[in-house]
A and B are shown apart, each in its own frame.
Chain A
Amino acid sequence: QSVLTQPPSVSAAPGQKVTISCSGSSSNIGDNHVSWYQQFPGTVPKLLIYDNNKRPSGIPDRFSGSRSGTSATLDITGLQTGDEADYYCGAWDSSLREVLFGGGTKLTVL
């Protein structure tokens, strides 16, 4: 069981908005930056969001991140079938002294 808790799955229709949550504690999300990764089956994880809400070059603004207290969220608007993937949150934990990843959320675009 991951220290960073994500819902196992979320779904929404094309064109809609979906929110993926990542719940942690004061020693990880509450104290450090959050990043988000997208992974298609059989491929390498790709950085989507860093420093809670920044997008690397080339990431569409349909993807946005936020952090509040000990939780973080990834919002995806204008859903496309090509967004179907697994999404992971990540953060450093100041108490455990390790990089944590959430358990991952499988996004289905209905």
Chain B
Amino acid sequence: QVQLQESGPGLVKPSETLSLTCRVSGDSMRNYHWSWIRQPPGKGLEWIGYIGYTGIAAYKPSLKSRVTISIDSSNNQFSLKLSSVTAADTAVFYCARHHFWSGHHDYWGPGTLVTVSS
């Protein structure tokens, strides 16, 4: 059974960089892409970006200048960095397994709430 688990600070100050890690267990990271998705309180889902086993990443164009996703396949984990955060970046952040050709996300982490506040 594939399991994903997000970890990282729950509080980030405005203008600083949000950093999260997702640990994957129960499967190899090969053959899939690995996404970060966020959901502001009371709002809908927003895809941030994904990364493949080879390290090639794709990002939501409107966030591209602030986002970096990296992968550490030897330790079965991938990470998100979102720079220059504001209160508008407050959200529950999910990591999820993405099927490249089909486009769906089948396994999700439980999510972690990150609040941007001074």
Report chain A residues within 8 Å CB of B103. Answer: 32-33, 35, 90-92, 99
The size bracket of the interface on B is: 20 to 34
Contact of A47 among B50, B58, B94, B106 (CB under 8 A): B106
User: Contact between B47 and A44 (Cβ–Cβ < 8 Å)?
Assistant: no
A-side contacts of B52, CB under 8 Å: none
Given A44-B94, A50-B99, A99-B50, CB of A90 within 8 Å of CB of B44: no
Q: Which residues of A contact B (CB under 8 A)?
A: 2, 32-33, 35, 37, 44-47, 50-51, 56, 88, 90-92, 96-104
21 CB-based A-B contacts, threshold 8 Å: A33-B104, A35-B102, A44-B94, A44-B108, A45-B94, A50-B104, A51-B102, A88-B44, A88-B45, A90-B45, A92-B103, A96-B61, A97-B61, A99-B50, A100-B47, A101-B45, A101-B46, A101-B47, A103-B44, A104-B44, A104-B45
